[in-house]
Structure 1
């Protein structure tokens, strides 16, 4: 049994996904697995024009050969860019499920289409499966969907696909930017896991050793992969896909996206939300995450170089703005996005007593805290070398994000999620603006 299905079996009582087929010619060989888990009746197959060409026609041929009833839900392509998973598109898919009398959903695509079908079927209480078209992100088998709602990209709980089909010939021939996006998403794990440990230590949030074990297996699946991806090597693609699936399993086992999402994802989400709200450029999520990972890795290096004796706790508590004053800053920073942001920022805003207790604990347990975050951390240079080997973007300019917006992504993204990260700690220490300036000087041009 392969490592992905081993964990699907081991944690079957905690996971929605029951099977994953990662192989060459997987689409042609997938009907038995799909029919075992989806309901008997009409299946509603969602695809856009690109994913239909990549895998939809093969899927239709496979379904027709098996005598399976199906109808196509065509995901509309916008005039510019790619489809976006938002409330409107989810509602359209839900309506199509009802109108066609479909009993199951089948997504043919990657992040957006998978999330639309996941959330639509979840809200309609119907089973679904996915046939992947690109190894671009780790959300195929996760029990969350990323949805653009009120101008902010948020994650919401849903039912994960019962079956994931990853045809390596399809995956390896995806647009290359999507392939390195998947790698960029996974490169965040050493740093996001440090954030997860930091939050557990300083805020007492949940941490799962079981999920960490799965993440470690995912890291091993990536060994030697980066330099072979530009060749569209099938074995390297398999390692990338396995690691992506293991990441999704880890999130489900942990009960949150914390094993795979920390400060680097907040930077990416900030870029996304400002792109949608203010018509500014952005890149694929995982490409942004890769550059965000280099950023937060640099911040961790600065934290490790800090002398705890220089932390003036009284001064930091004294400098903490009252919430009303900080709320006014948020309104000025985020403009029309303020209402969507403030509901995340307020629950995570520390009281003076909370800040004092946390900084006191940090100073008292300095070496213990650093030892914990170092247990998964990698240097910025080692992460950058691996991304460069795969010809992935490693600078904000390569994402078409200008220098001022990149700096704001580092300095302000902590407020868009109530999740404690190195960005939050740097802000509480009063050094986030300084460190953001230094990170931009290294990571822009």
Structure 2
């Protein structure tokens, strides 16, 4: 696919303002996405044309790696174009090797922005730097843009930032980037694990979309054909891409990147990460938060998501095989924990992280009366609900095979997570986010524990 074709597709969903059949307006605020070789030299002019430059300098936000890869070159291009710009290289917290997007990093970046009198933030990097820049820009009430240096995740164009807050990985409203730039040559030269991570993030969509459909069908939460149109446009770009990535094929990398951008635009239009983040992301977030809290291992976000995708697609496969006439409601309601018991369980499971987790779990917990009504609805509307989730689902074996063709991990051991921790990730992660997923349904049907035990032993 040519660059022009990719840009035409991306332009269709930038600056979106469309009225849905539900009477809601679906908007995106990103004005420009460009994926092309040599893009760095065109960024200063593009930002100027968009009215994003002026007397206040553009602040390039980088780390040591992305400074060498692109930020120094980009700063020189701003100087050549007589566009005011300066640079900040973010450093890990004392005692840490890697940057971590947490409240501290966002605060430090906001302070640096104010100290330099910057009027626009331009992240040069991928997940951590992008999230920090969006969160800081939102806090300061200014706009931001990004030069992606690795196709590692789908958050470049989203209006949310993933921030570790009080030990819990949270998503918060942030400044959607005004413009996003990427050079396929730079992207293709990024560490391959980051490329595989991007594919892993996108291959979660069959199950995250199923979770979105499940929540809408069972709980009446938001669902949108407009958002699904954007998501499906990105998914269509991935046909045949996975096996071409290990050779760093530039066209495959460009298509992957465009699909990541479209996924983020879908989140913008939805006003949440719901269309792109389901139970598989909760597993990844659990791995992240326990890694940072207890010094355990973790991997790139999308690699963890890929592992979670195989877990949740397998869980869907098992639950869809249930005969709804055999679901006995009274024992399920009786086994459902009241809130004091649920809170005590969370405290036992999460230790020092419990206070922050409880904030999220309280919002997703339901009473026994509400659970009874929910399961009655599930049984009565089984065919409708299962048809809704199966619109996007794919067989777990097919997903795993395609991920493996790209060298993406699909099992906990491949991301350094041992069996006991893997079991905890599956069992405990539903409590860390107030978003209904197949994991939550499995808890309510009293099936998650047996599934987790069997899965980690396989």
SS at match of 1:289: helix
Count of residue pairs brought into register by the alignment: 442
Shift of 1:309: 2.0
How many angstroms apart in 2 are the aligned matches of 1:217 and 1:181? 20
Shift of 1:25: 1.0
1:376 to 370, 378, 392: 392
Shift of 1:272: 0.5
How many angstroms apart in 1 are the aligned matches of 2:15 and 2:221? 27
How many angstroms apart in 2 are the aligned matches of 1:358 and 1:134? 43
Summarize deviations over 1:265-314 as a string: whole Å, max 9, x none. Answer: 00000000101111110111110000000000000000111111221101
- Once the two structures are superposed, the pairs formed by residues 280-299 of structure 1 within 5 Å of their partners are 280-299=296-315
Confirm or deny: 8 A CA contact 1:87 1:147 kept in the other structure. yes
Task: Give the structure 1 partner of residue 447 of structure 2.
Answer: 431
Task: Give the structure 2 partner of residue 2 of structure 1.
Answer: 8
How many angstroms apart in 2 are the aligned matches of 1:437 and 1:150? 30
TM-score (norm 2): 0.94
Q: 1:406 aligned to 2:422?
A: yes
How many angstroms apart in 1 are the aligned matches of 2:205 and 2:143? 30
1:337 to 353, 359, 364: 353
2:53 to 17, 25, 39: 39
Confirm or deny: 8 A CA contact 1:90 1:116 kept in the other structure. yes
SS at match of 2:364: coil
1:349 to 365, 381, 394: 365
Summarize deviations over 1:33-75 as a string: whole Å, max 9, x none. Answer: 1122313121111110101111112212211211222221111
Shift of 1:155: 0.7
Summarize deviations over 1:141-200 as a string: whole Å, max 9, x none. Answer: 110011111111111001111010011111111110101111000000000000001001
Task: Give the structure 2 partner of residue 315 of structure 1.
Answer: 331
Summarize deviations over 1:194-249 as a string: whole Å, max 9, x none. Answer: 00010011111111110001111111011111001011111001110010000001
C-alpha change, 1:27 and 1:418, in structure 2 (3 Å) is same
Q: 1:73 aligned to 2:60?
A: no
How many angstroms apart in 2 are the aligned matches of 1:439 and 1:420? 21
Confirm or deny: 8 A CA contact 2:75 2:87 kept in the other structure. no
Confirm or deny: 8 A CA contact 1:211 1:253 kept in the other structure. yes
TM-score (norm 1): 0.97
SS at match of 1:347: helix
Q: Compute the RMSD of aligned alpha carbons.
A: 1.3
How many angstroms apart in 2 are the aligned matches of 1:30 and 1:45? 12
Confirm or deny: 8 A CA contact 1:45 1:107 kept in the other structure. yes
SS at match of 1:346: helix
Task: Give the structure 1 partner of residue 28 of structure 2.
Answer: 15
Runs (4+) of structure 1 exceeding 6 A deviation are: none
Confirm or deny: 8 A CA contact 1:106 1:131 kept in the other structure. yes
How many angstroms apart in 1 are the aligned matches of 2:411 and 2:225? 33
> 36-45 or 387-396, which moves further after superposition?
36-45
Task: Give the structure 1 partner of residue 23 of structure 2.
Answer: none
Shift of 1:351: 0.7
Task: Give the structure 2 partner of residue 48 of structure 1.
Answer: 63
- Once the two structures are superposed, the pairs formed by residues 38-437 of structure 1 within 5 Å of their partners are 38-41=52-55, 42-77=57-92, 81-437=97-453
How many angstroms apart in 1 are the aligned matches of 2:364 and 2:133? 31
How many angstroms apart in 2 are the aligned matches of 1:140 and 1:59? 18
How many angstroms apart in 1 are the aligned matches of 2:394 and 2:88? 43
How many angstroms apart in 2 are the aligned matches of 1:321 and 1:69? 59
Confirm or deny: 8 A CA contact 2:70 2:124 kept in the other structure. yes
Confirm or deny: 8 A CA contact 1:39 1:127 kept in the other structure. no
How many angstroms apart in 2 are the aligned matches of 1:337 and 1:77? 22
Task: Give the structure 1 partner of residue 4 of structure 2.
Answer: none
C-alpha change, 1:231 and 1:80, in structure 2 (3 Å) is farther
How many angstroms apart in 2 are the aligned matches of 1:82 and 1:260? 26
